[in-house]
């Protein structure tokens, strides 16, 4: 009986990707196009961190920074005798510590530390470490952190903190996620999105998530997408893993091949490339792109994580309402994305509504209709 053709194979070196000639001979199938290419890849992998290792390093830095800010808030709340608020933030700190412990374990593995040595530091047996903090567990914590940390803070409605001493700022007792009161004296109200429980992804990460979600929705394989975009399957894989930022031509072909809207992807691509968005890119389309990158949660779910109503969020996606800039910031951060790349689009929307002579750079109130 003739064995089934396994299909084309490609070199595992991501900088090569050449087809591999897998004949009918015996022995293990080849993984690289030749021995020289394999040795070069293994040597480069040992000398430089992998994309996964870089992601672990970045995640550890962000969690450590967030934990520092949360602890500072807890100290302030403790000194102003606000125990309920401090206890709510303490839950955040506990989760941050668990996230930090998980990613530090993975960092040690990336550095090829022995499993027994890592377990000893935590007071665990090696088999307990492998079971409780496997690589999959760390990856799940990294993926679930943005929404998990946002939903953990819930203050009792009847809890009213005592007046803060005059020597302390009133904002010291504010819990992340609460709406800030307007400041007097003509000063600008601080952004709601600058809270320690916000974890916006970088523009490149948002683009990667959007393209990956499109690929999952389409059900297409890497080989099929490679044929549609006229690149190699290994290159498509690197784009979906965030290792490569494609050109707009490839990103557009990829989006069309997956049945997506290029207008939603183009603002994300421009932000990932560090480019200013063009006037053809509308604010609603950019928000829909962020929505896609977050796997399109329902408006009522987003409303639970923001101070916006489901109707207002839907209006922002549909373009039937022009929100205030702080609402754009809050929605973007609820979608785990940075808001600043949207600022030129919001300014353009304000200018189009008010007209060239009436436009000012300040925030505007929400317009419905």
List the chain pLDDT tens, one digit each, 369 residues: 455 555 567 777 667 767 776 665 566 677 777 778 877 777 766 666 677 788 888 888 888 888 888 888 888 888 888 888 888 888 888 888 988 999 999 989 888 889 899 999 988 898 888 888 888 888 887 777 654 444 334 444 434 445 544 444 333 333 333 343 344 433 333 444 444 444 567 888 999 999 999 999 999 999 999 999 999 989 999 999 888 899 999 999 999 999 999 999 999 998 888 887 665 668 999 999 999 999 999 999 898 888 889 999 999 999 887 888 889 989 998 898 888 888 888 888 888 776 543 333 333 333 333
Distances, alpha carbon 308 to alpha carbons 295, 299, 335, 349, in Å: 19, 9, 13, 20
SS3 237: helix
Contact, 195 vs 176, CB < 8 A?
yes
3-class SS shares of the chain: helix, strand, coil, % to 5: 55, 0, 40
Reported pTM: 0.46
Q: Residue 16 gets which letter from DSSP? A: T
- As given in the structure block, the two tokens for residue 310 are 């489901």
Query: Can you tell me the distance from the alpha carbon of 207 to that of 202, in angstroms, rounded to the nearest whole number?
Result: 9
Residue matched to tokens 């196009």: 33
Q: Residue 322 gets which letter from DSSP? A: B
- As given in the structure block, the two tokens for residue 289 are 């792109």
């Amino acid at each position: 009986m003739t064995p089934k053709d396994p299909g084309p194979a490609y070199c595992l070196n991501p900088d090569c990707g050449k087809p591999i000639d897998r004949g009918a001979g015996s022995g293990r199938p080849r993984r690289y196009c030749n021995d020289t290419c394999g040795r070069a890849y293994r040597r480069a992998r040992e000398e430089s961190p992998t994309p996964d290792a870089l992601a672990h390093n970045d995640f550890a830095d962000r969690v450590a920074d967030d934990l520092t800010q949360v602890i500072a808030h807890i100290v302030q709340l403790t000194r102003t005798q606000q125990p309920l608020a401090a206890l709510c933030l303490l839950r955040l700190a506990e989760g941050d510590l668990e996230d930090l412990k998980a990613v530090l374990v993975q960092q040690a593995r990336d550095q090829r530390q022995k499993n027994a040595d890592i377990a000893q530091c935590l007071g665990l047996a090696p088999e307990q470490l492998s079971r409780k903090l496997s690589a999959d567990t760390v990856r799940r914590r990294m993926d679930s952190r943005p929404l998990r940390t946002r939903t953990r803070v819930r203050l009792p409605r009847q809890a009213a903190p005592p007046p803060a001493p005059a020597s302390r700022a009133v904002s010291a007792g504010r819990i992340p996620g609460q709406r800030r009161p307007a400041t007097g004296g003509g000063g600008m109200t601080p952004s709601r999105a600058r809270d320690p429980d916000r974890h916006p992804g970088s523009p490149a990460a948002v683009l990667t998530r959007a393209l990956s979600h499109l690929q999952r929705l389409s059900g297409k394989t890497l080989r099929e997408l490679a044929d549609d975009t006229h690149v190699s399957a290994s290159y498509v894989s690197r784009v979906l893993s965030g290792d490569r930022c494609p050109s707009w031509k490839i990103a557009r072909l990829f989006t069309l091949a997956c049945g997506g809207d290029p207008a939603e992807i183009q603002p994300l691509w421009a932000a990932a490339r560090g480019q200013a968005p063009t006037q053809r890119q509308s604010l609603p389309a950019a928000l829909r792109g962020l929505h896609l990158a977050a796997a399109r949660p329902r408006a009522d779910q987003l409303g639970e994580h923001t101070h916006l109503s489901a109707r207002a969020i839907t209006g922002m996606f549909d373009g039937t309402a022009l929100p205030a800039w702080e609402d754009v910031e809050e929605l973007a951060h609820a979608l785990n994305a940075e808001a600043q790349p949207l600022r030129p689009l919001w300014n353009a929307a304000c200018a189009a509504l008010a007209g060239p002579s009436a436009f000012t750079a300040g925030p505007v109130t929400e317009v419905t209709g």
